[in-house]
A and B are shown apart, each in its own frame.
Chain A
Amino acid sequence: MEEQLKIDFEKLLEKSNFSKKNVEIKRKNFNNFIEKGFPNKREENWKFSDLNQIISKNIKNLSFYNDLSKPNKIDQSTFIAGLEHNKLIFVNGRIEKIEFDYEEKNNIEILDDLVLEKPNNANNSLLFLNNAFVSKFFKLIVKKNYSLKKPLVIYNITNKDLVSKSINLKFDILLEENSSLKLIEFSNDKSTTNFININYNFDVQKNSILKNYKIDNNSNSNIKYYFNNISQDTNSVSEIFLLSSGSEFIKNEINCNLNGKYSSAFVNGVFLLNGSKHHEIKTNINHLVENTKSYQLIKSVLEDESKAVYQGKIFVDSKAQKTDGYQLSKAILLNDNTEFNAKPELEIYADDVKCSHGSSSGSLNEDSIFYLMSRGLNYKEAKKLLINGFLLDVVEKITDSEIKNLIKNIMSLKQ
């Protein structure tokens, strides 16, 4: 693989015109990645999901260079219906359309010719890979006191032409003071066995609100890694919802630094897996100052031979008194070969805090099924109703009612 990487990297530098500075940074990142390689289970963070093994098992002849010179056709049918929204459309990793029809143009800025920065997580080899191979890196700025009128949807569409490629995308999103953004990240994959590596950096400034919904619902054979870095200033709120269901493998990593007083972070997620799918959510919520709050709720329903992993960590600095941290993960295992692994971790250095976590996993409650069947439902309906209720609990946490209904429809949940 190393040979292939080198050839592809040189090809990328040759075909694109990066600034001198960026070439230098890219080389550095590239060398770091060559040195470390794909993470394997010997790394604590990847203990339950050996990416190196997963990639070599699922992807034959992975190549890292992707020709972005020709435009791709956009399939209109993949758009979310019944919701007015702004669009950023990527097809096979190439930006095809930027459309902010509903917004005041002077309050939004999009930059795409930026100098790369050092990755802020120096041990993460996938960030090195991302920085080395990302072709265009976008930055969206929402100006002071501006709230986007409609949600922004980032479409990540891949079509049949894309096979065994590594796609690297990088976004920076800055919310200036008193601003707000609703961001939906929507994946639609028709491609096979690609490795997709996406890095988000959110800077949420004073009194700003970020709502981020990630939807991956179409069954496909891709391997995906998302790294989301969020830093929050005073009185800011971030809300993340993950629907982790479609791809063969996804790891969603969320690193959230609560840097300002009264800031709060909410992470809610649903794993809905079947077949041989293997998904993971890893969170790092760092409470760094006083009076901050975090809340995490992850629920999983596992069928066939699927596997879900939740690694959640709450860190409380010695300065961060009056922290309120909560974490709960629940899993229902429906088949003999399913597996649920959890590592809910607390690291606490301050005494006046309220931190707790809970985790449970098991089968559906037979008593509840009996109750429903005695009232005339058949076994299948009873099971469906119980799972429906189990998952609805998480979806109800979504604060935007329009998007909540959209997600309910996508998951075909009934009220």
Chain B
Amino acid sequence: MREKQIDKLKDYKYGFTTDIENIRAPKGLNKEVIEFISKAKKEPKWMLDWRMKAFERLKNLKEPNWQKPKYPKIDYQDIYYYSAPKSTSEKPKNIDELDPKLLETYKKLGIPLQEQQRLNGIAVDAVFDSVSVATTFKDKLNEVGVIFCSISEAIQKHPELVKKYIGSVIPLTDHYFATLNSAVFTDGSFVYIPPGVRCPMELSTYFRINASQTGQFERTLIIADKGSYVSYLEGCTAPMRDENQLHAANVELIALDDAEIKYSTVQNWYPGDEDGKGGIYNFVTKRGLCKGINSKISWTQVETGSAITWKYPSCILQGDNSIGEFYSIAITNNHQKADTGTKMIHLGKNTKSKIISKGISAGFSDMTYRGLVDISSKAKNSTNYTQCDSLLMGNKCGAHTVPYIKNKNPESNIAHEATTSKISEEQLHYCQQRGLNPEEAVGLIVNGFCKEVLQQLPMEFAVEAQKLVGISLEGSVG
């Protein structure tokens, strides 16, 4: 039995759990739980009112059901909406005061939390279950005026910024999961880059779901003020559990005049075992608003984990001359399912968007690219280019493309291309002839297939992502 478990661990190296005492809100979704969360976070009244408004609306909302991967009904009363490591209820002042067990966990995850790893040069905000645990490199960021902290802290310390921007991209009146998040969100990151500042380092968040039967509902808000630049990385893992866990986060990006936000995700939630048991339901709402002129938002994602991935990082190109980009690699293996893509909504003049999506499905998995390009009648002289390629391995899996293309403007151009193929025998033969084993050969070919997207990732992430691509496809050849 034990051996079997160890074997399993090999497959998903983040599958360990950490025994840390948790403080939990009572199970279920009701007014009291929301009040509990708000109280635990010492939130001002306006925040609680805001949550309540979302909760009121949620009562009349239905879960969407148009997605390709179907899942058993989620019992929203059977989830813990708040779970915090006990030792952080009094937030430590510096990193040495953190629970050593927590540090151990992050070490296993390979997150450079410790000061000595400063060389890595990435400022990290780590979210464990529902609470933000530590933020590194505070001083250095303070020097240039960058605010990088947990959203709970921001609500207390920078209420004017939060109040102004929260819900401005994903409003309270959005779809079911986004509204659910608005009601019960527990923590997440907050970033504010002041005008004209180029953030001196990559900012990064790691999310981890540790406790069982918990959902993770984080909320991230990034504001790039006029002429600023920030690159933000997000990574996710979770322990292996038999039950399905829900992850419904909201991410809002706002780019003002001439600002640029680059948001990269390496998503490696636990995908469930080989028979499709367990795993995370990743139902995330990510949306960026190019509010100012000449602003730019770029999403890069590497999706290898989760039992079901269902998300569409989107760009609303409101400012004239704004640019939206979306680069995605999605890999599904075994019984994983993904329905992912993007939305590019062109409102301003001379707006540009580019979509590059690479989907790879193996085993019994199912992958769907679903995207929307909408050019409104006012978005004169806009262009969009979309390319989505799928790679199939075996005939038990599926790869689908469902683009929605709407053009209301004669001065705009839209081009869309999609292909579906498999790895050719010739390519495999060529690689094997030169001494690679079949798995290495597939890894090489797949990496080549994904190259356009991998190039968009920051250096440190690119290496990790490349390895991840290889690991995710292990055992799919043969």
Which residues of A are in contact with B by a Cβ distance under 8 Å?
44, 318, 321, 331, 333-363
Give every chain B residue within 8 A of A357 (Cβ-Cβ): 401, 416-418
CB–CB A361/B398 < 8 A: no
Using A337-B377, A342-B405, A346-B401 as known contacts, say yes or no to A351 and B414 having CB atoms under 8 A apart: no
Chain A residues with CB under 8 A of B409: 333, 336
**Which one of B110-118, B201-209, B387-395 is at the interface?**
B387-395
A265 to B403: give the CA distance in the assembly, Å. 23
The segment from B26-34, B261-269, B309-317, B419-427 that touches chain A is: B419-427
Contact partner of B418 (CB less than 8 A), chosen from A336, A344, A354, is A344
Contact B414 A355 (CB under 8 A): no
Instruction: List the 8 shortest-distance A-B pairs measured between CB atoms, nearest first.
Output: A362-B413, A333-B410, A351-B392, A346-B401, A342-B405, A359-B416, A351-B422, A356-B419
- Besides the known contacts A333-B409, A339-B406, A341-B405, 10 further A-B residue pairs in the complex with CB atoms under 8 A apart: A341-B406, A343-B404, A345-B400, A345-B402, A346-B390, A349-B395, A352-B422, A354-B421, A355-B420, A361-B405
Complex: A358 Cα to B414 Cα, angstroms: 10
Across the interface, which residues of B come within 8 angstroms of A351, CB to CB?
392-395, 397, 422
Task: Give CA–CA (A336, B375) in the complex, Å.
Answer: 12
Known: A336-B377, A337-B377. A348 touches B399 (CB 8 A): yes
Distance, CA A331 to CA B408, complexed state (A):
11
B interface, by DSSP: helix, strand, loop or mixed?
strand
Q: Are B414 and A362 in contact (CB under 8 A)?
A: yes
Flag whether B407 is at the interface (Cβ < 8 A).
yes
7 pairs from A and B in contact (CB 8 Å cutoff): A338-B410, A346-B418, A350-B392, A351-B392, A358-B418, A359-B414, A362-B412
Within 8 A of A (CB), among B219-234: none
Contacts of B407 in A (CB 8 A): 331, 333, 339-341, 361-362
Interface on chain A toward B: helix, strand, loop, or mixed SS? Answer: strand
- The CA of A231 and the CA of B189, in the complex, are separated in Å by 56
Q: Which of B353-407 contact A (CB under 8 A)?
A: 377, 390, 392-407
Q: Using Cβ atoms and an 8 Å threshold, which residues of chain B touch A346?
A: 390, 399-402, 418, 420
Q: Judge if B56 is at the interface, Cβ distance under 8 Å.
A: no
Let me know if B395 and A336 touch, CB within 8 A: no
Contacts of B1 in A (CB 8 A): none
CA distance A321 to B422 in the complex (A): 11
B411 within 8 A of A: yes
**Contact, CB under 8 Å: A350 / B395:** yes
For B392, list chain A residues within 8 Å (CB). Answer: 348, 350-351, 353
Q: Which residues 19-54 in B have Cβ within 8 Å of A in the complex?
A: none
Interface string of B62-102 (1 = CB under 8 A from A): 00001000000000000000000000000000000000000
A336→B410 contact, CB < 8 A: yes
CB distance B400 to A348 under 8 Å?
Answer: yes
Nearest-neighbour CB distance to chain B for A299, whole angstroms, equals 14
| Residue in chain A with minimal CB distance to B391 | A351
Which residues on B sit within 8 Å (CB–CB) of A352?
A: 395, 422
Determine whether B119 belongs to the interface, using a CB cutoff of 8 Å to chain A: no
Residues of B within 8 A of A338 (CB): 408, 410
Find the residue from B399, B407, B410, B421 having the highest chain A CB count within 10 A: B410
Could you tell me the distance in whole angstroms from the C-beta of B78 to the nearest C-beta in chain A? 31
User: In chain B between 398 and 456, which residues have their CB closer than 8 angstroms to a CB of chain A?
Assistant: 398-422
Please measure, in the bound complex, the distance between the C-alpha atom of A343 and the C-alpha atom of B400, giving whole angstroms.
12
The reply to whether B415 and A356 form a contact with Cβ atoms under 8 Å apart is: no
